[in-house]
Amino acid sequence: MSYGWTAYCVDEKSLCALFGHMTEAQCQQLRQHYHAPLQQLTTSFAEPAEAALQHIADGQLDDDISASLYWYVLELLADWHGERLANSEFYPAELMALAGIDGVSAYFINHPWLDLPDDFPSVSICRHARLEDAQRSVLAGELTPPQQQQLLSWLTQAQHRQQDLLLFYY
């Protein structure tokens, strides 16, 4: 099985603010737009992904649902509120491929409502304020030249949009 990184340009604060503040109309839009991925998550986890989405919308998580499932639903929210970036160099890739890049930190959300996943995904972020640090660090790192260019492209896009770079590994 192969693993790799998926990148999104998204505003972290806007994403975190969704907890307990989504309307029923927004939830319905999400359920329709992400019907297939939600069904796939439900099948994979044997837990209702639509219920996990509703829990986030209501601001009431259920301890009986896997923390990992909530993180995968959060990825769908990142896609909905941001933009998934093209990826030709980080799938497949090692988990440690982005280790040592200044400004990239793991498990970006420091929020009491979301526990760390008990398995995948692994989630990292480079906040807008640290994008330039990360850009400098990429060139000094050990990535292959195509990986450097891909990561620099992601960082530049996030900077241009004045957003954060959110990274999911699975």
pTM: 0.93
CA 89 distance to own-chain centroid: 17
Answer for the pair 138, 151: CB distance below 8 angstroms, yes or no: yes
Whole-number pLDDT of residue 140: 86
Per-residue pLDDT tens digits for 111-127:
666 777 778 899 999 99
- For residue 41, give its domain range: 14-82
Same domain for 162 and 107: yes
DSSP 8-state secondary structure symbol assigned to residue 59: T
Domain count, the chain: 2
Q: Which residue has the tokens 């990561």?
A: 151
Whole-number pLDDT of residue 112: 63
Whole-number pLDDT of residue 119: 80
Whole-number pLDDT of residue 117: 79
Per-residue pLDDT tens digits for 130-160:
999 999 999 888 899 999 999 999 999 999 9
Whole-number pLDDT of residue 28: 97
DSSP 8-state secondary structure symbol assigned to residue 19: T
Same domain for 97 and 22: no
Q: Which of 46, 65, 82 is the last residue of a domain?
A: 82
The per-residue pLDDT of the chain, averaged, comes to: 93
